[in-house]
A and B are shown apart, each in its own frame.
Chain A
């Protein structure tokens, strides 16, 4: 069973693409649900891994987490394909969207997409988008973070699909093959929520709440660095937090929305409400935190690192409480 394809704009590319894909092939699933049921909320601060000289900071799970996990948690089949040769990858994509009229998900680089605004083009290789057709040499694309559908010349899309570097997409494409309807949502949700609460409270010092604490500590100690580095570090945190459209700690809002939606499945609604509210508070606090980071970077003479670090600690307090509740669900 296939539904009509309809472009929608989402907060996050991967959860958005998966939501549209599954809905199109017959399983209506919202973006927050795709994000939450795959336990995709995360926090990682890895000072040893550097991106442009700055540490890796992530507010959600690794790219492809949703695509890889959704089939397992829902017991559906998602066909994934990788390629060595760009021409072969292009022929395959054309066949799928033109001959078989399929809706196909792609992993691409952001930098090589010609429709991407100039200032948003960075070498980030784990962007996700949907291809829903082709006319002469142009692909019709539904990019989940864009307001409207876009078009892309096939030679350009080939380049974006075969960008090299970290998370190189290697022509990766995906589409659901077999979607069953009798899914035990309550069971899957309970498991997913518990799992995520556990991963956020892991003893591993660079992840979850512990990772957030470590970042707060690092911020306090930034005064030892030179001004340039402080500015870049603070805005780097903000960029990782916002990441192509999530609205200031937006992943927290996304998860809060998921917890609300989970109320329809007979779990403990009071717990879900409280935790959802706490994550909203954390999202709001993270937005204030981002604002402080930016203000501090702009007016370096009035920079108050302790205040910034305190703000992050405030978010940590809300999140800790939320996860201790969700662990017991």
Chain B
């Protein structure tokens, strides 16, 4: 019978929860076993980290006037352009435009509140996003 390795490593991304996987027991019958995988941990962390990097980068872009708060909150909420576009019901190209600093200034409250709702924040929080240089 082919043996299955059940990893028992730490995985911080699951917050203390352990997941289960199937493997044969001593008698060759399959059952679920709890496992923890550092491989999974790394893959998940890298994906989480990537959004943080994009968020930090958009912060810099906002300071230089090239990006709008929409871009910042998009990454903060782990979204990309297609996801956000579908949530606010707009074309991707429109959302891309709204991510620009100069276009953002011209947007009316009706459009902005759609974004605020998507990010679960108030209109003021969206408009008032400000970073110190």
User: What residues make up the interface of A, taking CB atoms closer than 8 Å to B?
Assistant: 9-11, 32, 50, 52-53, 111, 117-123, 145-147, 163-166, 168, 231-232, 235-236, 238-239, 242, 244-248, 250, 253-254, 256-257, 260-261, 277, 280-281, 283-284, 287, 290-291, 293-294, 297-298
Give Cα A104–Cα B1 distance, bound, in whole angstroms.
38
Which of B7-15, B61-69, B98-106, B121-129 is found at the contact surface with chain A? B7-15
Residue among B6, B22, B40 with most chain A CB within 10 A:
B22
**Distance in Å from the Cβ of A262 to the closest Cβ of chain B?**
12
Give Cα A282–Cα B7 distance, bound, in whole angstroms.
16
Give Cα A284–Cα B1 distance, bound, in whole angstroms.
13
18 contacts between A and B (CB under 8 A): A32-B30, A117-B13, A119-B12, A145-B19, A232-B50, A239-B43, A239-B44, A247-B19, A247-B37, A248-B40, A256-B22, A256-B30, A257-B22, A260-B29, A283-B4, A284-B5, A290-B39, A293-B43
Give Cα A293–Cα B43 distance, bound, in whole angstroms.
9
Please state if A232 and B14 are interface contacts (CB–CB under 8 Å).
no
Residue among B6, B12, B20, B32 with most chain A CB within 10 A:
B20
Please state if B42 and A294 are interface contacts (CB–CB under 8 Å).
yes
By a CB distance below 8 angstroms, the chain B residues around A256 are 22, 30
Give Cα A163–Cα B120 distance, bound, in whole angstroms.
12
Main DSSP-derived SS at the A contact region: helix
Give Cα A31–Cα B47 distance, bound, in whole angstroms.
29
Knowing A52-B80, A123-B83, A164-B86 are in contact, say whether A245-B46 is a contact too (CB < 8 A): no
By a CB distance below 8 angstroms, the chain A residues around B78 are 111, 121-123
Give Cα A245–Cα B35 distance, bound, in whole angstroms.
9
By a CB distance below 8 angstroms, the chain A residues around B17 are 117, 146-147
Among A32, A163, A242, point to the contact of B22 (Cβ < 8 A). Answer: A32
Give Cα A232–Cα B42 distance, bound, in whole angstroms.
11
**Distance in Å from the Cβ of A175 to the closest Cβ of chain B?**
24
By a CB distance below 8 angstroms, the chain A residues around B132 are none
By a CB distance below 8 angstroms, the chain B residues around A261 are 30
Closest to A297 in B: B46
**Pairs of residues from A and B, 6 with the lowest C-beta to C-beta distance, nearest first:** A247-B21, A117-B15, A245-B19, A257-B30, A119-B13, A238-B43
Please state if B42 and A284 are interface contacts (CB–CB under 8 Å).
no
Among A120, A235, A257, A284, point to the contact of B14 (Cβ < 8 A). Answer: A120
Please state if B7 and A248 are interface contacts (CB–CB under 8 Å).
yes
By a CB distance below 8 angstroms, the chain A residues around B50 are 232
Please state if B22 and A254 are interface contacts (CB–CB under 8 Å).
yes
Q: Which residues in window 31-81 of B have CB below 8 A to A?
A: 32, 35, 37, 39-40, 42-48, 50, 77-80
Please state if B30 and A231 are interface contacts (CB–CB under 8 Å).
no
Closest to B21 in A: A247
Among A111, A122, A238, A254, point to the contact of B40 (Cβ < 8 A). Answer: A238
Give Cα A209–Cα B20 distance, bound, in whole angstroms.
26
Among A11, A165, A242, A283, point to the contact of B32 (Cβ < 8 A). Answer: A11
Closest to A242 in B: B40
